[in-house]
């Protein structure tokens, strides 16, 4: 088995190849002066091939690099397994307004056309959206790894899901931490402004609240939840996200909301956070 890491593998190709006892082949990825990606796959690569490439920002560029590598190997006669730790463009999984393009459909269609026969990813925004992939899918759930890290560092946890959609993740995390959990109830006014109406679940006064979410993007959701938790008497509030996307101003927003610690995984590069290596769980899907 060969493991290839693209420029957005975030270093995960190294532990994955080691855990599998596979050969890590060195891709040569450069850019032309006009920015176009040039990639070379060593000639000895063949047989079972795993390509590791996350699709964080710039998402289209990282996706295209993956398609370029896979499609090239398809021409050489091989269909590959793609490990895409963070699967970008997965949140637009339906037309919220008629006529909206459903980006996850296009991403999955392009991947299949490029010769990706199996897709391995970590906590996609909605698992159900991956049924559109015309190949095999394996989904890694990072919540246990993340909860273990939180357990080491948080004294008296209480898990909070920032909205009703995150309840399942919170329930699982709370079970692993042996603590209680709740979710926040939000409402959206006619102008789209979100406010909190309360929680479903028992009180968390005096507790160390851990807000669990799949993706932390702008941090706006976490900020709102943290202010609410402090308002309800939380002793401390930290945040745990599988994918620390951290778009425009997210770090500042979390700091202003007095988030004491940020936990995440290495599906996306992020500094100033407690990072859990998710490669063992990924490698388990490749055996």
- Catalytic sites, residue numbers: 186
Are the C-beta atoms of residues 147 and 173 closer than 8 Å to each other?
yes
Among the candidate windows 12-20, 32-40, 121-129, 206-214, which touches its own copies by CB under 8 A?
A: 32-40
CA distance 278 to 25: 21
Task: Give strand pairing partners of 276.
Answer: 265
Among the candidate windows 93-101, 119-127, 153-161, 203-211, which touches its own copies by CB under 8 A?
A: 93-101
Instruction: Tell me which DSSP letter residue 177 carries.
Output: H
Q: How far is CA 106 from the centre of its chain?
A: 19
Interface with its own copies includes 277 (CB under 8 A)?
no
Residue 25's SS3 state is strand
The residue among 47 and 98 lying less far from its own copies, judged by its C-beta, is 98
Least distance between its own copies and beta carbon 284 (Å): 29
Are the C-beta atoms of residues 56 and 86 closer than 8 Å to each other?
yes
Which residues, 233 to 252, sit near its own copies by CB under 8 A? 245, 247-248
Residue 117 in tokens: 């026969």
The residue among 143 and 246 lying less far from its own copies, judged by its C-beta, is 246
CA distance 138 to 122: 9
Interface with its own copies includes 72 (CB under 8 A)?
yes
Interface with its own copies includes 38 (CB under 8 A)?
yes
Beta strands at 116-122 and 49-52: parallel, antiparallel or unpaired: unpaired
Least distance between its own copies and beta carbon 29 (Å): 10
CA distance 103 to 89: 6
Among 15, 19, 79, 92, binds its own copies (CB under 8 A): 92
Q: Which of 41, 81, 87 is nearest to 62 (CA)?
A: 87
Among 217, 258, 260, 274, binds its own copies (CB under 8 A): 217
Residue 173 in tokens: 């995390």
Among 14, 19, 39, 139, binds its own copies (CB under 8 A): 39
Among the candidate windows 1-9, 29-37, 140-148, 159-167, which touches its own copies by CB under 8 A?
A: 29-37
Residues that bind its own copies (CB under 8 A): 32-43, 57-61, 63-64, 67-69, 71-72, 75, 88-89, 91-92, 97-103, 105-106, 109-110, 113-114, 217-218, 245, 247-248
């Amino acid at each position: 088995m060969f493991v290839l890491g693209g420029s957005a593998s975030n270093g995960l190709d190294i532990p994955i190849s080691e855990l599998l006892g596979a050969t890590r082949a060195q891709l040569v990825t450069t850019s032309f002066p006009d920015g176009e990606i040039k990639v070379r796959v060593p000639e000895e690569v063949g047989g079972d091939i795993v390509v590791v490439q996350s699709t964080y920002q710039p998402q289209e560029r990282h996706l295209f690099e993956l398609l370029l590598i896979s499609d090239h190997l398809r021409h050489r006669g091989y269909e590959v397994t793609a490990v895409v730790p963070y699967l970008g463009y997965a949140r637009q999984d339906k037309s919220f307004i008629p006529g909206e393009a459903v980006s996850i459909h296009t991403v999955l269609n392009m991947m299949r056309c490029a010769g990706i026969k199996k897709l391995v990813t970590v906590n996609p925004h909605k698992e159900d959206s991956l049924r559109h992939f015309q190949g095999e899918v394996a989904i890694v759930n990072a919540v246990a790894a993340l909860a273990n890290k939180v357990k080491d560092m948080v004294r008296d946890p209480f898990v909070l899901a920032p909205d009703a959609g995150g309840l399942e993740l919170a329930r699982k995390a709370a079970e692993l931490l042996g603590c209680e959990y709740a979710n926040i109830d939000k409402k959206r006014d006619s102008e789209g402004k979100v406010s909190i109406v309360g929680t479903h679940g028992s009180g968390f006064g005096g507790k160390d609240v851990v807000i669990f979410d799949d993706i932390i993007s702008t941090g706006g959701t976490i900020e709102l939840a943290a202010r609410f938790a402090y308002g309800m008497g939380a002793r401390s509030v930290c945040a745990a996200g599988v994918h620390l996307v951290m778009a425009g101003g997210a770090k500042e927003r979390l700091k202003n909301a007095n988030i004491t610690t940020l936990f995440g995984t290495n599906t996306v590069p992020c500094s100033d956070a407690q990072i859990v290596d998710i490669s063992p769980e990924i490698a388990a899907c490749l055996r």
